[in-house]
A and B are shown apart, each in its own frame.
Chain A
């Protein structure tokens, strides 16, 4: 039975997106990037900057000082909103932050606490020293008392998940490598993606083994990137927009903190999170036109897709190999190229995927990769050591 609530004028509506290309841009400043995507998103939304009353910030991981600037309202000053902005605050849950930020924005709008919310994210991972970032990730987000002394790295976390997934499903190394190839084929169509040269299964499997069974091309490359997203109420959206995007359903499960405490590394929290979201939306995976799902490692994506009902359990890897999720395939997945090819912009990797889902439903994804008639998108995010499985079901609404 559907428990979907009828669309109301107070519910949240996505109306604008701004994004900078992902990659290595050492000359692009952090604050400058935030301002650029803020301006782009507000223009895309058909608003002026002074319409924005609430700024929700997605954290950066490259610098504690830049993070402090975000928390302490530097963006408000840069955008000339001193004395006008009602609230500047940060939401943080690692890679799933954008899902939780959107929930927060939607709740503020729906309850009347905010009218126009600007969500901002920028990251300088691609320009930061790689070893420092690896150590930062190793020092934070894993239990220092119980797991740090094992030598655990984030690539090892991805490897533990991938190893389990391959063992349980019988997916081959070729199947897993084909996930990278499918994502690359999408990235080639995305001018904002970090990697746009064709990639083959042979190249993936020929790259160096990092942490078995992960090869170098199966580990995400750290990137600079920035995204802005504008939400308002459906009532406001209707005044000046022909189409907007609503949140039809949302579900989530936080399944662990320590990777050593995850009950099933081949399943994670997806099945229950997905059930909750589909029940709220009143539609199912078969009704979706595309998916934008966190993919910092290949099995992180295949496990999520199976839990989300977008592939039969155990089959996602083989279906990637069969080209089902590639451009021209049966069902478009991660149409921006995902974290593995568009670039891992830290907490922003999930933001870029979510922004792409909104962009597709607004019909703004450009001639090369726009999914024709895209009306429903399944978005999935995960943070930390894949501690949570967050689902947002998005729907295009027309006036």
Chain B
């Protein structure tokens, strides 16, 4: 799936998701956090980057529940929800949203607190994407 030259930045991220962790990149030269992962730091352009585990806490900037017109391969999963999450670490990402206890997403709204929701290794390998749920706080 990943082109060869990209594996060095995709594989650590994907493998962490399979372990139930969410990593973001960090620039050792200028100390910025970086998302999405890159080959060079977009602030200082050094290539000396490592990974840090995040708190998993964030704010849901926006979200949607896709019911129709899903891309191929996702037709059987509708409805499903995705949203843009702003993490405490001052980076953001597009993520899947875990359903509420009632199986829907009625509890979700813009600007509510959310937290990283680890999924099974099989699921994370099938679809290497972070999931979030409503914050327990």
Contact = CB atoms under 8 A, between A and B. Distances in A.
B66 A211 contact: yes
B72 A150 contact: no
Interface residues of B, number: 37
A152 B94 contact: yes
Contacts of A219: 69
A265 B84 contact: yes
A270 B62 CA distance: 19
B65 A150 contact: no
A147 B65 contact: no
B61 interface: yes
Interface stretch (A112-120, A155-163, A350-358): A155-163
Residue with the highest number of chain A CB atoms closer than 10 Å, among B9, B67, B96? B67
Contact of B35 (A211, A261, A262): A261
B64 A134 contact: no
Nearest to B81: A212
A208 interface: yes
A164 B61 contact: yes
A168 B62 CA distance: 10
Given A145-B10, A212-B67, A150 B61 contact: no
A151 B67 contact: no
Nearest to A138: B71
A93 interface: no
Interface in B51-88: 61-74, 77, 80, 82-84
A362 to B, nearest CB: 38
Given A147-B94, A149-B128, A210 B68 contact: yes
Contacts of A159: 64, 66
A143 interface: yes
Contacts of B9: 145
Contact of A146 (B72, B82, B93): B93
Contacts, number: 112
A147 B13 CA distance: 13
A146 B94 contact: yes
B66 A156 contact: yes
Nearest to B77: A151
B64 A167 contact: no
B84 A260 contact: yes
B110 interface: yes
Interface string B1-25: 0100010011000000000000000
Given A164-B110, A212-B64, A153 B69 contact: yes
B47 interface: no
B109 interface: yes
A152 B82 contact: yes
Contacts of A263: 92
A317 B76 CA distance: 34
Interface in A203-261: 208-214, 216, 219, 258-261
B48 interface: no
Interface of B: 2, 6, 9-10, 35-37, 61-74, 77, 80, 82-84, 92-96, 109-111, 127-129
User: Across chains A and B, which 3 residue pairs bring their CB atoms closest together, nearest first?
Assistant: A260-B94, A159-B64, A167-B110
